[in-house]
Each structure stands twice: as structure tokens, then as C-alpha cells.
Amino acid sequence: MESKDQYAVYGNPVKHSKSPQIHAAFAEQTGQQLHYRAHKVELERFAETAGQFFSHGGKGLNITVPFKLDAFEFADQLSGRARRAGAVNTLALQEDGSIYGDNTDGVGLVRDMHDNLGWELSGRRVLVLGAGGAVRGILGPLLKQGPAHVLVANRTVDKAQSLAAHFDSLGNIAGCSYDGLAGGQFDLIINGTSASMSGDLPPLPHHILSTEACAYDMMYGPEPTPFMRWAAGETAWAVSDGLGMLVEQAAESFCIWRGVRPDTKPVIELVRQSLSA
């Protein structure tokens, strides 16, 4: 019996990961023969562990917290979007034995907003909360959609301004503190902070949503996040969590590995149902 191609997600922690469920659904849907598992990698041992995986015939890895920078350093070749983000969430073995690194987070976010939710991004005034690795991964693809303006707000203003400067060749982008948001108004707010994981909320002023504003939390869970509840209370036109982004970025990884793009909508629904089970 022929053995299946091996794939995995590397992280620490990783027990909670939905990636095995998602990629199993993709494989069943597309008729691909593969095995995908979640693997907790010890801190400081990423390069060693990933090297062993590929030397033993592994075909591809997804990378989650806290190893995206390690994966960036590990890859032999980088996509333009991975180089711009300074982080890698997808590693793929090439025919010549080299390792290709990509970052699919941003395209996953854009596809979920545009294709699944039907949100218009071109010409919109966009506010992004946070200036960490999650935000760094989405700004390039987001700016390529042609928003009128992107403002990155962060508790540490220097970090927001530095991040904006890194991406300013791609579009109109600036950085500020949360205090600097007073008086502004936005058509789309993206929460890229981890505040929702602790039941917290960034310090946002009232009346910063336009009349048809959308609000997107990159986190997800069985219940609406504190950010989503805040946005609904501020009369946002539409709110969403980041589950669709998770599935869409996984689909992009799957396509890089297998050369076929799965249908994401039934998989988003499958994972959504499993969250509330």
C-alpha cells in the first residue's frame, strides 16, 4: 500500500489547531491522498525539527505562533509577500529539494472579506488595530486592494509608525496611537490584536464607524468576540470573526502544495459547526 504524503502544522501551543480538520476536509473534497497532523515544537528547536521533517520525506508545513519568523529564516526561497511580511506560515518542498516559504495570511483575509462576505475594499477608509506579526502578514495584500487609506493604531505608537513606513510603497498608510483615533471615521475596522483571547478590547473611541462600516476580528470562537459585540453596539453594518480567514489561508497553502484549490465555503461551515458542538 502506497504511503500518503505527509503534512503538518507546527506551533506551540498547537493542540487547539483546526488545521488538521480543515486539510482533511480539503483532501477528501479534492481526492488528494495525504496525511496532516498537528505537532507541538519545542521552543528553540524549530529549525532542527523542520529539517528532520523534510529530510524524512515531509512535503509541507503550516506554521503558527510563535515560529513564523523562524520559518522565514528556515526557507531557502521566499515569495514576495513573505519577504514583505517578514514572516512565513507555509513551507513547501520543491522538486530540487529546496524549501519554499510563503505567507498566505493576507490573501486569506482578503478572500474571506471579498469572496465570502461580499465586502468592498477598494476606496475604503480602513483602520487596523495592533502592530504585531498578525497585522504585518495582512497589510501587503490589503493595500493591494486599493483602499483609500489604511491607519494602523497601536498602544506603542512607534511600532505602528514603523510598520506603516515599511508598507508605504504599496499605498496610503500611516500609524498612530489609540488616542490619535479621536475624530476619525472608518468604513472597515480590522482587529489584529490578541485582546479577544483574554476577553479584552482595545481602547476605542465612540463614533468612529461610518454609516456602512464593517468590523472584522482576526480571532474566532464559538461566540462573538468582545470586539464584534462592541462593533455591533456601535451600529456596524456587518461584523465577522476570522474563521473564514483561517480556512482561506489554509486553502492557499493547500493549493501551493497540491496544485488544486478546494471549495472553502462548505469547510468554513464544517468548522463553524464543530466550534459550537
Annotated binding-site ranges: 17-19, 64, 89, 105, 130-134, 154-159, 218, 220, 242, 249
Cell reading at 232: 455591533
CA–CA separation, 6 and 47 (whole Å): 18
Catalytic residue among 4, 68, 144, 265: 68
The CA–CA distances, whole Å, from 141 to 50, 104, 144, 240, 242 equal 27, 9, 5, 19, 16
Q: Is-catalytic flag, 15?
A: no
DSSP 113-138: IIIIS----TT-EEEEE--SHHHHHH
Q: Are 107 and 141 within 8 A, CB to CB?
A: yes
Q: How far apart are the C-alpha atoms of 92 and 111, rounded to whole Å?
A: 22
| Burial (CB count <10 Å: 0-12, 13-18, 19+), residue 244 | buried
Binding residues for NADP(+): 130-134, 154-159, 218, 242
Residue 126 sits at the vertex; the CA angle it makes with 193 and 202, to the nearest 5 degrees, is 30
Please, are residues 161 and 175 in contact by the beta-carbon 8 Å criterion? Answer: yes
Give the burial class of 216: count Cβ atoms within 10 A of its Cβ; 0-12 exposed, 13-18 middle, 19 or more buried. Answer: buried
Copy the grid coordinates of residue 150. Answer: 489604511
Residues 6 or more apart in contact with residue 42 via CB below 8 angstroms: 12, 49
Q: Which residues are catalytic?
A: 68
